[in-house]
Each structure stands twice: as structure tokens, then as C-alpha cells.
Chains A and B, each alone.
Chain A
Amino acid sequence: MNRVLAIFVGAVVLLAILAGVVVANRATPDLSPGTPEGVVQEYLKAVFAGDYPAAAGLLSPSSGCGASDLAAGYVPASARIVLDHSAVNGDHAVVTVNVTEGTGGGPFDSGYSHTERITVQREGGAWKITGSPWLLPSCVSTKG
């Protein structure tokens, strides 16, 4: 009976290792920059990498934000962002993402999750971000 238990536990640990290897080697998908989701991905990557000029380049002029506004805004130390879905309506689109923030605080910090909607608009043939309640300060109202 002890041997059966040992084999079972060994198999479970092996399965865990296997799952870990699979998950660790999974590549981040590269979405096409010509789609609303692709622009959102590029923007988020640039913000997390600290490349604010590149991020500002993806913003619509109507948002009123520049690189300095983005640099002054709040960016979580670590976050995991998963695409939920995107709804395209002509030249306007809403990209919904699920965010899990603050997972870097040790093994007993499971972080907290929230859902964000990022609005995107087609301007001159390219999709640009017009607004987001998260990672994008509301620059228009502060500048009058």
C-alpha cells in the first residue's frame, strides 16, 4: 500500500514538473499590429518596458496624453494581462483585458484581478488608443 502511495505522489510531482515546463516555455502570442488587440498589446508592452515615447506614439491625439504623462502615471511592479475579447464596430473598437496585479509580493500573495476596457479608434488607417481607465491618465480634463 505504501508503494502505491509513493508511486501516486511521485506521479503527481512528475505531472507538476511537466506542467511547469510546458507553461514556462509557452511563448507570448504576437498579435498583428493592424488589429485593435495588437495595438493594445504593443501599448501595454511598451508601458511595462518603460518605453514611454513608443507607447505615446500609439495614442490617439484625442487622448491628449504624451510620453511625459505616461511616465508620471502609475504602473504596477508586475502584472499579468490576458485578452478577454474585443468588439469592433466600424472604426471603433473596445478591447477587454483581464489584469492580475501584484503577483510579485512573495509566495503567499496571490494578487488581485480586475477587468479593464480599452477603447481604440481607427485614425488614418491605423488603430490608436483613445482611452483606458487603467495605465492611461485622463490628460484632457487636467489640461482643461
Chain B
Amino acid sequence: MVIGLIFSLFSIALPIALVVWAVRQFGSRTGSRGMDAHSIRRFFQYLLLFGLMVVAAVGLSDLLGMLFQKPSLAGDDNSTLARALTFSLFGIPMFVLVAAWSRRRLQQDPDEARSLGWAFYATVAPLTALVVAMTALHGLVSAALVDHRFDGSALTQLVVWFAVWLVHWTMASRMLDDDRRQGQLVLGSLIGLGTTIAGLVALLGASLDALLVDRASTLLVQQQQPLAQAAATVVVGVPVWVVYWLRNLSRARRTPLWFGCVLPVGVGGSLVLAVVGASVVLYQLLVWLIGEPASTQAAQHFEGAPTAGACVIVGAVSWWYHRQVFTGATPARMEVTRVYEYLMAGIALLAAAVGVTMVVVALVESLVPAAAVEVGTSLVNSLLSGVTLLLVGGPLWLVFWSRIGRATRDGDPEELASPTRRIYLFVLFGLGGVAAVVAVLVAAFLGIQKALRDGFDAQVVREMRIPVAILLATGAISGYHWLVYRHDQSQLPVAAPQHGPRYVLLVGAPDGVVCGAVERLTGARVDLWVRADGLAGPWAVDDVVAAVSQSGADAVAVVAGPAGLETIGMQRP
């Protein structure tokens, strides 16, 4: 089971690591740090180290866990024991050997300590151990609370994997610098926060359910002791959150990653949780009061309401907390702030658009009743769900969009030209446009099909109600955002056309700085070749830039000689 869990975790992490590695290797333009034998060696070395760590820990925890297992009634126990012994007796020494070799390399070679392979291992290994230990702790606590029994194998699993985590945690805090360790802290904080919130929602929901809902009238037997299960989840999540977030990440340097964890995930995620919970409660209330509830019993109708209410409470508290943390960091408006605001505005707008669509569909359905008797969802209820989405999504969108509007009012080019705003506008314009075109085709097809079959009457309009409603909503969104984009363009200062060469070849003395500086100042791609005869003085960036910008050619070679700089225009043969 542990191997399956780790395999699924790893199959998520490995592609990400491969992509990051590939981008770093092939994306580097200077070429000097290109793909070398070292990085390939490191990749396999740390992959092997990780695999052996898992094998050794699984073997040891399985073997110790067997001491607590009940004896087998029948069937043979040998293969499990053989596996545990193999993993322990061969896995542990092999892991120790590879770990000792890696440690020696890390101590001798400063490049090794800065490598991506090492950072990957020092991030993924403690997080893997953390997740397995959390699963074991959950098993241990829920067995004790739900079944009132002691789960010995979960305890051994917890002890072994906690030790693995502790060793890796200590090692990472000693051997990785703070910025490179932040990846682990952010992921660990998110794991802790997610588990804690899920546990708290379940705990609060089960408590409200137990206190408010009269079980005497419920015939269905529910899952046993949801309170105990939820308590076990909270017990697992809280320590992780305290260690990763409260004691470490909350005090760490405010990097973009830190703000990304606090703002879009912490503040935004909590807000979405609370709003979704509130919408569910509002919808159930509206259906109960003016709609057509499926059950006449309040206990049955409001069955999901305690959990939805718990989502509102927990989401609101989490939102308040993360908002306090964010304002405590007193940042200027930056890209992460924009990501958060545009993300929230987008989600709210989507909810409101779905609401509009449902309301239009319900209106058409009520104006043109079905020719035959229709069995299915109630018209009032679908209208109410549309109204709920509109009531929740509309004001929320207004809040965030007006906040964005205040930031763009003075025509700040940084705001108007920010990549987040561009992406938001293009995605809504593009997706809205595609959806509108598809809706037109579907509406036309349905209308023509119905007209050919039964002739042209009011029922044709009814047949086309869903695509037409989608067309109305998406068309409005797409058109509005296109207008906003056009307005942005008219306000932005016209960018000066770029002059000068696109490629610069420098020939002269070795220099670590000149390439980057010339690249930044001219916007050209720059390569540096070193003169083998040594007849070159040191580079002066200003002189190089002046020489490059005076040349009218598309590609320029600047040769540094004893007499100064010589500029040669070049072209492809």
C-alpha cells in the first residue's frame, strides 16, 4: 500500500522535475552551463537515492509491523516476510552507501550543493516521508477512536517514516539555503493547511449535524462515527501546519513563492470554500422556502447543510487569517496580487455566467411549456439555482473587478500591460468567443432539426433554449472583455520600435558580466568568444553598447584588439 501511495506521489513529482530540469538545461542561452555529464549523473544518482530511501523505509516498517500483526490463520506468510527482509537487509546498506557517497560529493563540490538534482531530492524525500507518516498517524488515530483498537503496524509505519522525515528535515535545513528550501516549506504548508481545513470542515459539519439534526426521523444508517474520523484528520493536519507554516514559512523571506502560497491559495482558496458553502446553504434555504423540496422532512432536505455551513465558517476564518498575514507583509501591488484578483474575478464571473444561462433557460421553459408532460427536475428549483449563482457570483465579481478598475483608472502602464491582465482578457475573450461559436452551431442544428421534423412553431424556440442562453452569456463576456482590451491598448504608450542588431558576437578577453549586460541593454542575443592570442584588453560595457548601436547591420561582431574595438557588420551567406 505504501509503495502504491509513494508511486502515485512520485509519478506526479517526476514529470514536474523533468520539465524544470529540461527548461533549465535547454533554456539557458549562454551555453556554458549546457547539458553536461554531471547533471545526468546527478539525476540518476538522486533518483536512485530516493528509490533506495523508499525501499529501506518500507522494508523496515513492514518488518517491524509484522511483530504486531495477528498470526495468519491459513496461507503462507513467506513472501511478505521475504520482501520485508530483502528490503531491510539489502535496501538499508545500499541506501547508506549511496547516501554516504552523495554526502562526500556535496561536501567536496560546491556545484553539487547548488545542483537541481540535490534540491529535488532534499524537497521530495522529506515530503514523501511526511505524507506516508501522516497516513500512518491517521490510521493509528482513527483505529483508536473509531474501532477502539490499537493498530501496531500503523504505529511502526509512523515511527519509521517520522524518523525518515526528521533526518531529511534536519539535513535540508542545514544543507539547503533558505530560498531553495522554500519549495519544501510551501508544499508542506499547503499539505498541512489542506488536511487541517478538510478535517475542521468535517469535524464542524459532523458536530452541527449531531447537535441540530434529529436522527430519530432518519431511516438510513449513516457512516459510523464521522466525528472520530474528522478528529483524526485534524490531529494529523494541525502539527504539519504548525511546523511547516507557523514555525518556519510564516517567518521566511517574502519571495513571490511565499506570496503565491498566502494570496491565491490561502486567501483565494478560503474565499472560494466559504462562498461555495454559502451558496449551497442559500440554495437549500430558497428551495425549502419557495421552491419544490424533494423531501417534506427538514432533516432530510437540509442533510448537506451542516457541512456546507462548516465550509462557510472554516473558510471565513481561514480567509481572515491569511488576509491578516498578507496585509501584515504590506506589499506593494505586484503580479501575485493581480493573479489573485483576476483569478477571483474570473471564478466569480464564471459562476454568474452559469447563473445567467440557467435563469434564461428557466424563463424560456416557463414561457413555452413543454408540448408533452416532462418528468425531471423542477422548473422553480433550476431557476433558484440560477438565481443563487447570480446572487453569489455577481457581487463577488463586482468587488474584484472594481478593485482592478481602481488600479487601472490612472492608466498605469505597468497594470495595463501586466501579463496577468493580458492573459485574463485574452482567455475570457477567446474562450467566450469559442463557446459562443459552438453555441450558435448547436442552436442552429437543434432548431433546424426540430423545424424539419415538426414544422416551425414555439417548440423550436424551446428546443434551442440552452445553446441560446449560453450564447447570450458567453457573447456578452467575450464582447465586454474585447472592449476592455481595446481600451487598454488605446491608453498604453506606443512602444518605440526596436533598432539595432539582433545578434552580437564579442571576440576578446574572457568576462563573466559583459554578455548579460550587453544583452540587457541592446535586446540582442550575445555570444562571447575568447581570443586565443590573448591580445585583448578588458571589456567596457558602455563602449560595446555604443559600438553595437552605431552599426546598422542585423548582426554585428565586436572584436577587442590592442588598438580598441573593431565593429564588423555581418550577414548570412
Contacts and interface: CB of A to CB of B under 8 A. Distances in A.
Interface of A: 9, 12-13, 15-17, 19-20, 22-24, 26-29, 31, 37, 40-41, 44-45, 48, 78-83, 97, 100, 103-104, 107-108, 110-111, 113
B63 A16 contact: yes
A80 B63 contact: no
B559 to A, nearest CB: 55
Contacts of A13: 88-89, 92-93
B60 A16 contact: yes
B11 interface: no
Contact of B88 (A20, A45, A110): A20
B77 interface: yes
B75 A44 contact: yes
A71 B40 CA distance: 55
Interface string B164-181: 000000000000000000
Contacts, number: 94
Contact of B73 (A12, A41, A108): A41
B88 A82 contact: no
Q: Which of B67, B75, B77 counts the most A-chain CB atoms under 10 A from its CB?
A: B75
Nearest to A47: B74
Interface residues of B, number: 33
Interface of B: 1-4, 59-60, 63-64, 66-67, 69-77, 79-89, 92-93, 96
28 contacts: A9-B93, A12-B92, A17-B89, A20-B63, A23-B63, A23-B77, A26-B71, A27-B71, A28-B73, A40-B73, A41-B73, A41-B74, A44-B74, A44-B75, A45-B74, A48-B74, A48-B75, A78-B79, A79-B75, A80-B75, A80-B76, A82-B71, A82-B72, A83-B73, A97-B73, A107-B86, A107-B87, A113-B1
A-B interface, 8 closest residue pairs, ranked by CB to CB distance from nearest: A44-B74, A16-B88, A79-B75, A103-B79, A23-B66, A104-B79, A45-B74, A81-B73
B80 A82 contact: no
A65 B409 CA distance: 84
Contacts of A26: 71
Given A103-B80, A108-B3, A110-B1, A81 B74 contact: yes
B63 A9 contact: no
